[in-house]
Amino acid sequence: MTLESNFPHDERVEKEAISLNNAGHEVHLLCYTKSHEVSLEIWNDIYIHRFQINKWLYKSSALSLQFPFYFRKWEKEITILLKEFSFDIIHIHDLPLIRSVLNLKKQFQFKTILDLHENWPVLMKMAAFSSKFPVNILFSYQAWLKYEYKWAKEADGVITVIEEAKERLIKLGLDPNKIRVVSNTIRLESFHASDHPIKSDTFKMIYSGGVNEHRGLQIVIKAIAILKNKGVKIHLNIVGGGNYMESIKEMAKSLGVSEQFIDLGWKSFQEMMNHIATAQILIIPHLKSEHTDATIPNKLFQYMYAQKPLIVSDCTPLKRIVEQENAGMVYKDLDENDLAEKLLMIYENYDQYLALSMKNKIRVEEKYNWQVEENHLINLYHSVLKTN
């Protein structure tokens, strides 16, 4: 596996690596480190290989299509491992490194699986650095789209996280027979959540995860202000953080709802679940975009398992799953009035929505869990290994 970050921890990569190891595959993962961590570590029977990357080279990755120094560094490090080990498959996490890997395929004779966690071209276009000099001048969204099509079609197998992402790739011209959906579901054996709601002195709504403009928390703050003017106080607690947090705090202050907003910061997984146990509502307010219409956050399944009233924006995968499973409420993207109206419905009919949410845990246990998804992963490996 190749991964453009340090490891551990990356929940999706961890799940896949452990599942492949349990299925009898010897798994090695190549990643970088910006500190001085050991170059070789065995983690849960997975061989973790690390190489040092400097700040300049790391930053150059945003412009790697124009200046391929970053790609060449990865190609060099992958070659070192290929000369030491005979790999059957190289599993590439996300789009950028596929060129570095495929450039070595003919020489070393291995199969490739491209694991697309995101719609990478759109993610790059939306990233904060793409609006800063010199990236804003040199970055090309169209170039990344062409890169995606050119190299993804050469992979022996492709993984997406949701059906909508698979459909997008098929429309681009990729062979549907080599694409598998392996979704961001939870491992039941390592997941613990309270079976009973914990009483709280306030009516609390929780969001967990990164905080940037595209997560839509500004719409939540506006909806809370609308409800306050109607005499209804809903508190928003955020477990997480990001570069948009200060803007959210300023908005809460300007709208007079600062006392209804709490920044809890990043917490451990179990601490996050403990906070969720004290909440009345769980929310995923992501803004609808090409990116969010082709991915799925694993917090959806965490929230469903926690058996709390759930409300999500109408990003295509979120809307489809929540409505299909009758798992919660969906509001119109960018519409704080619609969100306020839906929150008021839950507030005024809370016992009804709490009873409805109690069925979500069963849906996760039967359908939306890693035991189901890992079978798709293992089957793809078997299929790729059988091809000539």
Q: What are phi and psi of 192, to 5 degrees?
A: -130, 130
Length of the chain: 388
pLDDT value at residue 197: 53
Question: Which residue stretches of 180-286 are H helix?
Answer: 217-229, 245-254, 269-277
Quick one: pLDDT at residue 189?
A: 81
> Going by C-beta distance under 8 Å and a sequence separation of 6 or more, which residues neighbour residue 382?
none
Q: Which residues of 330-356 are buried (b: 16+ CB within 10 A; e: fewer)?
A: bbebebbebbbbbbbebbeeeeebbeb
Beta bridge partners of 92: 2, 114
pTM over 0.85: yes
Mean pLDDT for each consecutive 10-residue tract of the chain (388 residues)? 93 95 97 89 96 89 90 97 97 96 96 96 81 78 93 96 96 94 90 59 92 95 97 96 95 97 92 91 97 94 95 98 97 97 97 94 95 96 90
**Is domain 189-366 in CATH 3.40.50.2000, yes or no?**
yes
At 62 the pLDDT is 84
3-state secondary structure of 159: strand
Please check whether the two domains, 11-185+370-386 and 189-366, share a CATH topology: yes
Alpha-carbon gap, residue 256 to 207, rounded angstroms: 20
| Separation between Cα atoms, residue 377 and residue 177, nearest integer Å | 14
Residue 366 in tokens? 């039967």
- 158 exposure class (CB count in 10 Å sphere: 0-12, 13-18, 19+): buried
pLDDT in the model for residue 200:
61
Contact 228, 343 (CB under 8 A): no
C-alpha 378/C-alpha 18 separation (Å) is 11
Of 37, 42, 29, 45, whose CA–CA distance to 85 is shortest?
29
pLDDT computed for residue 387 by the predictor: 82
Q: Identify which of 153, 197, 203 has the alpha carbon closest to the alpha carbon of residue 179.
A: 153
The CB density around residue 26, as the number of other CB atoms within 10 Å, is: 12
Q: Domain limits of the chain?
A: 11-185+370-386, 189-366
* Domain spanning 11-185+370-386, CATH architecture: 3-Layer(aba) Sandwich (3.40)
Q: What is the pLDDT of residue 358?
A: 92
SS3 call for 367: coil
Residue 32, pLDDT score: 94
Reduced to 3 states (helix: H, G, I; strand: E, B; else coil), residue 345 is helix
Closest to 315 (Cα-Cα) out of 186, 216, 209? 216
